[in-house]
Amino acid sequence: GEQVEQRPPHLSVREGDSAFITCTYTDPNSYYFFWYKQEPGASLQLLMKVFSSTEINEGQGFTVLLNKKDTRLSLNLTAAHPGDSAAYFCAVSASSGSWQLIFGSGTQLTVMP
């Protein structure tokens, strides 16, 4: 079945720098992708959902890139600030009836003032 590898597990950047997180997935037929943010002690909040038909998606302060050829999904937080400090998880919707989410192992991001 689908497997998702997320890198790096830990990332520390200075305020104003970019933070880049990458996930690679194994099923080339996967079509729906998600990024979740989890603040300390809290639940998961959806950051963005990405459809395979769109390769670049922009949100407030971040960009999501989808490279279908390399089966790679990336999150780039531009001009990170301390409020971005959290765990970030990518997830791929399984191309089967359950539509279960296959999660990456997460990236703990720390943004230093």
Tell me the window of 11-19, 42-50, 61-69, 77-85 that interacts with other proteins (CB under 8 A). Answer: 42-50
Instruction: Measure the CA–CA gap between 98 and 1, rounded to whole angstroms.
Output: 13
| By CB under 8 A, residue 34 contacts other proteins | yes
We find the least distance from the C-beta atom of residue 14 to other proteins, in angstroms, to be 25
Q: For residues 109 and 88, what is the distance between their CA atoms, to the nearest angstrom?
A: 7
Residue 28 in the binding site for other proteins (CB under 8 A): no
> What's the angle, vertex CA 84, arms to CA 103 and CA 88, rounded to 5?
5
* 93 burial via Cβ count (<10 Å: 0-12, 13-18, 19+): middle
Binding residue for other proteins, selected from 75, 104, 109, 111, defined by CB under 8 A: 104
Q: Which is nearer to other proteins, 80 or 90 (CB)?
A: 90
Query: CA-CA distance, 108 to 40, in Å (whole number)?
Result: 10
Residues that bind other proteins (CB under 8 A): 6, 9, 31-32, 34, 36, 42-46, 49, 51, 89, 93, 95, 98-101, 103-106
